[in-house]
Structure 1
């Protein structure tokens, strides 16, 4: 195996905010070819796959305007600069859904598009959650629903779940050796809004 590495000749910041740093990088390939590429760097995000004893996953229904599509996804968001990642993931669940996770366990870390984007994503597993008095943020979700994990897989197949964190989290949860057996019961849902 050859140990060849791309050489960064320079990087120029085009725009920067607390949510993104956009730049161009001049690159030289091992064969000498040079080119310029856009690079986006974004802060760490933490999402949580909340799983109850009935093998249901807590999902939020929301409109993602960039792709102009209504989708189901896990609760989550940016990790504040000095915040513990697991604490951030639990905080996002409660703020966005009104449910407080009982436990937090790291499930998987991944990068969604490492060719041009540096955006670490961490998915946590929460086994169980308690409904709180926290009113979910109406700007975050139209509906909140407990969905059987097998149905979540079908939702991925139908294109109702397209976000990488939710797809990765659901598929990763299927590999857990201690996944609880199904319990009879119907999914519970909460509709947000007026």
Structure 2
């Protein structure tokens, strides 16, 4: 089996922000040559697949500056240092949508962009939703939207749903519906 690992020779932090940290690493490649890697360090995130008793997916409509557009997403947020992902999922669901879940179950975790970032996102399924009042962060402006599955896939085709975590959750929801029918 070939050795594929890259050994870090030097690492330099070039930006330390509120959400991400950027670093540039000089690495030794498996063939002995050297190269440079630009890496985004991220604390990780959670997202919640929440479906109401009426079988509607709970989403938030939010403007995303990097995309310069508004999209529909499942509720999600960044992990705080040392925070349990399940507790973060519970907190984010309530903050963004007002819904409280009787229970949360892990569905899948994945790296969002492993070519340049270490961000991992954990998706949970929320069960037993109870409506309440949302209380988003002061710099967060969201609108709660509930869609039936067909409507959600229509929004996917229109690129109103256009991010990896929501697309993943949407297909998990569809797959579970097919299995249970």
**TM-score normalized by the length of structure 2:** 0.88
1:66 equivalenced with 2:60 (yes/no)? no
Q: CA deviation at 1:167?
A: 1.2
Aligned Cα root-mean-square deviation (Å): 2.2
C-alpha distance in structure 1 between counterparts of 2:138 and 2:24, whole Å: 37
Higher helix share: 2
Count of aligned pairs = 181
- After TM superposition, list the pairs within 5 Å mapping 1:1-194 onto structure 2: 1-136=1-136, 139-176=139-176
Q: CA deviation at 1:80?
A: 1.8
Structure 1 runs of 4+ with >3 Å offset? 133-142, 177-181
Q: CA deviation at 1:134?
A: 4.5
Q: CA deviation at 1:138?
A: 7.4
Q: CA deviation at 1:101?
A: 1.7
C-alpha distance in structure 2 between counterparts of 1:179 and 1:151, whole Å: 20
1:36-89: CA deviation from partner (whole Å, max 9, x where unpaired): 121011111111110123321100111111110110001111122232211111
**Structure 2: unaligned runs, 5 residues or longer:** none
**Structure 1: unaligned runs, 5 residues or longer:** 182-194
